[in-house]
Amino acid sequence: MKHLEWKENPIILEINTVPWLEFMLNGGHEETTLEFVPGDFFQSIKGKYDAVWLMGAWSRSPESALIAKEHDGLQQEFLEILPDLHPEDIIGSPYSIHEYTISDLVGGERGLISFREELADIDMNLVLDFVPNHVGIDHPWLNRCPGCLITGNERATREHPEWFFQKNEMHFAYGRDPYFPPWTDTVQVNAFSTEYREQACKLLDSIASLCDGVRCDMAMLLMDNVFTRTWGDLAGPPMDTPFWKKIIGWMKQEHPGFKFIAEVYWDMEWELQQQGFHFCYDKRLYDRLRHGQVEEIRAHLKAPLAYQQKLIRFTENHDESRAAKAFGDEKSLAAMGITASLPGACLIHQGQDLGWKRKVPVHLRRFPAEEINTKVQDFHEWLLETLKKAGIGLSMRESNWRLLDIQGNHASECILHLWVHGSNHAIITTNYSPRQVSVSLSLDDIIDTLELEPLNGKGSWWVSEIDPNGKSTFMVDQDPGASFLVDLSAWATKIINIKPASE
């Protein structure tokens, strides 16, 4: 199956595949696999999203499941979500991969192909996981390709016994990042190994036959400086070409149009963009939206557009707390209004649009039902549909975007930015504060910023304000110094259009 062309500024829906299938299908099907996802689901996401990321679709390590069942800390997390927890509910981590074959839990390759064909019918891309830093602790490479993996010498195993385990008379390293204890259900790969790079290319070549892009787990751990700091002499010297530049460069030749999305932290987004990534996590914006001030958010959005177009924004994913809980319902909607309408990609986590508040451990096969927050649901429906109609995100091509620097009363509490695409334009206004504000917008400034033609002589402009409660339209005369007020309740988002009254 050929890769679908990706849209500009895609909105991506992340689905925790196994428990989602159990939740969606258990009431109506004996087989809870991708092949039996009903047509209603595809219709419900049509026109709102551009891609689906099926998180956790690969075959998981059986050993990882056993480790999780005996881990006291994880057991406590599991019981908080599932008080009626059963041993078979624990299926291991999706990031401890036994083999890159589609799991029988989701219907194997047949189920995936069926699901992908349904997505293609509604012009949507499919994203799968790629875990570059480690493999499952029972992965076949321990026997077939130990040269792909980090192994310890006598000194290292003596100084850091907690980093290693023994098998086949060798000391293999657990997967690890430099700041946390190792993941003891994984084995660390060697980014400086020619054998691993060859295997990674083969894997990705195979993965590309099943999807249109990959989300790369903890991608910054494979950067030369990070990998050297983490593993030192055990890894050997860096190679002439950095890992990602080599891998992505090869894939661009073999599979043009295939996308790479990086989970990245520590402000390393720019470096990974330079090595070929199409989109990188914007964790800095997430932190500023959750904990920072409006001035910090605005400063972040002043970065060069070429950089911002390769970011993926989010207010929730499977690693973070649910947005409705972390931000609160109202603030989470304001943050969504900002992130979904910015240049670059936007990630929305399954259940986020329903206002769910329970963060589900990725090891579990099922999750409990939660009540739907209809206000959150209605806002998401309105926002995604309105952005599409306004030509933003979903259908915007070769557009002009800019951040508005509006002065005046309460403007410091708001984020305003605009899209221009021919005669199609929109100003997105978000009050990122807990109180009602009014922002004065100069008609002359808007006409100039939107690159609209001033009317000859005296004329008037239609101004439309769109919010979840509906649309209001009023007329503003083109007089010197003319302006109009935009009233925004606490944490509110509005989309404003302006056009000559003669149209």
Tens digit of each residue's pLDDT (9 = 90 or more) over 2-25? 778 999 899 999 999 999 999 887
* Domain endpoint, select from 281, 312, 328: 281
User: Which pLDDT value is given to residue 444?
Assistant: 77
CB 51 within 8 A of CB 93: no
In a domain, 342, yes or no: no
Give residue 396's pLDDT band: very low, low, confident or very high (50, 70, 90). very low
* Domain endpoint, select from 281, 302, 334: 281
User: Which pLDDT value is given to residue 395?
Assistant: 41
Can you give the residue range of the structural domain that contains 33?
1-149+176-281
Using the predicted structure, report yes or no on whether residue 478 has a pLDDT greater than 80.
no
Per-residue model confidence as pLDDT tens digits over 56-81: 999 999 999 999 999 988 999 999 99
In a domain, 378, yes or no: no
User: Which pLDDT value is given to residue 116?
Assistant: 97
Sequence-distant (6+) residues with CB within 8 A of 66 are none
The token pair at 394 is 């979903």
In a domain, 83, yes or no: yes
Distance in angstroms (rounded) separating the CA atoms of residues 128 and 426: 33
Per-residue model confidence as pLDDT tens digits over 213-238: 999 999 999 999 999 999 999 999 99
In a domain, 448, yes or no: yes
The structure's pTM equals 0.94
Using the predicted structure, report yes or no on whether residue 499 has a pLDDT greater than 60.
yes
Q: Are residues 404 and 277 in the same domain?
A: no
In a domain, 35, yes or no: yes
Per-residue model confidence as pLDDT tens digits over 286-296: 999 999 999 99
Higher local confidence (pLDDT), 422 or 476:
476
CB 167 within 8 A of CB 176: no
Q: Are residues 277 and 407 in the same domain?
A: no
Give residue 412's pLDDT band: very low, low, confident or very high (50, 70, 90). confident
Per-residue model confidence as pLDDT tens digits over 93-113: 999 999 999 999 999 999 999
In a domain, 166, yes or no: no
The token pair at 218 is 């903890």
Give residue 474's pLDDT band: very low, low, confident or very high (50, 70, 90). confident
Q: Are residues 66 and 197 in the same domain?
A: yes
Percent of the chain with pLDDT over 90: 75
Q: Please, how many CA atoms are within 13 Å of residue 415, restricted to the half-sphere of its CB?
A: 27
Distance in angstroms (rounded) separating the CA atoms of residues 39 and 120: 13
Using the predicted structure, report yes or no on whether residue 342 has a pLDDT greater than 80.
yes
Q: Are residues 3 and 134 in the same domain?
A: yes
Whichever domain contains 2, its CATH number is 3.20.20.80
Supply the mean pLDDT for the chain: 91
User: Which pLDDT value is given to residue 397?
Assistant: 44
- Averaged pLDDT for residues 363-380: 94
CB 218 within 8 A of CB 261: no
User: Which pLDDT value is given to residue 423?
Assistant: 61
What kind and span of H or E run contains 424?
strand 424-431
Distance in angstroms (rounded) separating the CA atoms of residues 268 and 283: 10
Whichever domain contains 443, its CATH number is 2.60.40.1180
User: Which pLDDT value is given to residue 391?
Assistant: 65
The token pair at 299 is 């400063």
Helix and strand tally (H, E) in the chain?
18, 22
Percent of the chain with pLDDT over 70: 93
Give residue 455's pLDDT band: very low, low, confident or very high (50, 70, 90). low
- Averaged pLDDT for residues 419-426: 72
Using the predicted structure, report yes or no on whether residue 29 has a pLDDT greater than 60.
no
CA-to-CA dists, residue 159 to 45, 163, 236, 315, 470, angstroms: 52, 9, 18, 40, 65
Nearest to 219 by CA among 173, 274, 172, 260: 260
User: Which pLDDT value is given to residue 74?
Assistant: 92
In a domain, 43, yes or no: yes
* Domain endpoint, select from 281, 301, 319: 281
Higher local confidence (pLDDT), 397 or 124:
124
User: Which pLDDT value is given to residue 464?
Assistant: 87
Task: State the DSSP string of 115-159.
Answer: HHHHHHHTT-EEEEEE--SEEETT-THHHH-GGGB-B--HHHHHH
Q: Are residues 204 and 75 in the same domain?
A: yes
CB 114 within 8 A of CB 38: no
The token pair at 148 is 């792909």
N residues, the chain: 503
Distance in angstroms (rounded) separating the CA atoms of residues 122 and 43: 8
The token pair at 469 is 């409660």
Number of domains in the chain: 2
Give residue 400's pLDDT band: very low, low, confident or very high (50, 70, 90). confident
In a domain, 430, yes or no: yes
